[in-house]
Homo-oligomer: A and B are copies of this chain.
Amino acid sequence: MKAIDKLINRIKELNNPTVIGLDPRYNLLPKCVLEKYPNTLEGISNAIIEYNKALIDETYDIIPAIKPQIAFYEMFGIDGMRAFEETCKYAKEKGMLVIADIKRSDIGTTAQAYSNAYLGKTKIGDKEVSIFDVDFVTVNPYMGIDSIKPFIDDCKKYDKGLFILVKTSNPSSGELQDIKLENGEEVYIKVTKLVKEWGNDLIGENGYSSIAAVVGATYPKQLEKIRKLAPSTYFLIPGYGAQGGKAEDIAFGFDKKRFRWDCKRFKKFNVCI
């Protein structure tokens, strides 16, 4: 089954289109967890694993997927990467999908190496082994199709998916993404069209492609334009909550024809938390 169908089916099953972002901040971990471990890279990484597992235990039957941001693990070095690996593995064991927010990108052979690490397999002698083995990764389109194609090929081969950065949620995303091209379109519109084209071969039974897009909740107008332009492109919409995106903003990202999400419910949800 295509990765996007696994995700959409689980979203329907749980009636919940949110993901849990696991971006551990050392100074925000509960004291009762931190106290158990020494103040070392290894200790903190073990505290992160314990905390993430507890969060997964409490959410795996109500939230379809986790989205760990790998930078918050890389900053603790090798031990941090071990915490990332253990977190992904545990979430999968509990039936959650894993969207690794890695935002990688590089020329063809290097993109293939990244894809081996997260979506495909790494060859060792006669064996092929899975490394981090997640369901989706985020990637950056600045280098064009040959930086994305190795990931797409592995999505076909191993039923995995991509979320490609189209319009990001940060304040200065417009510096490059919003500038107008010669033909009057903005850069993010050009990227939307590329993502749509790259995803044509991977449209699943729910009518969406496993080659999906990242579109920030903080830019509802652009979100609305992208949704209209790419009806078969699934969206990961970061920026809801702390970054300023509201329930009524993300409403533009939903496709009412297919899912009929009750936006009032989200509005209430937003007020409640």
Partner of A78, one of B78, B123, B190: B78
Contact string, A124-135, partner B, CB cutoff 8 A, digits 1/0? 110101011000
**Chain A contact residues, CB within 8 Å of chain B:** 23, 26-27, 39-41, 44, 69, 71-72, 74-78, 80-82, 85, 101, 103-108, 110-111, 113-114, 116-117, 122-125, 127, 129, 131-132, 140-147, 165, 168-177, 179-182, 184, 187, 190-191, 194, 243
Task: Assess the A76–B191 pair: CB atoms within 8 A.
Answer: no
Q: How far, in angstroms, from A106 to B41 measured CA to CA in the complex? A: 23
Q: How far, in angstroms, from A82 to B85 measured CA to CA in the complex? A: 14
Given contacts A110-B23, A146-B170, contact A117 B74 (CB under 8 A): yes
Q: For the complex formed, measure the closest distance between the CB of A213 and the CB atoms of chain B, giving whole angstroms.
A: 13
Task: Assess the A113–B74 pair: CB atoms within 8 A.
Answer: yes
The chain B residue with its CB closest to the CB of A129 is B41
Task: Assess the A144–B170 pair: CB atoms within 8 A.
Answer: yes
Partner of A41, one of B81, B114, B124, B144: B124
> A125 contacts which chain B residues (CB < 8 A)?
39
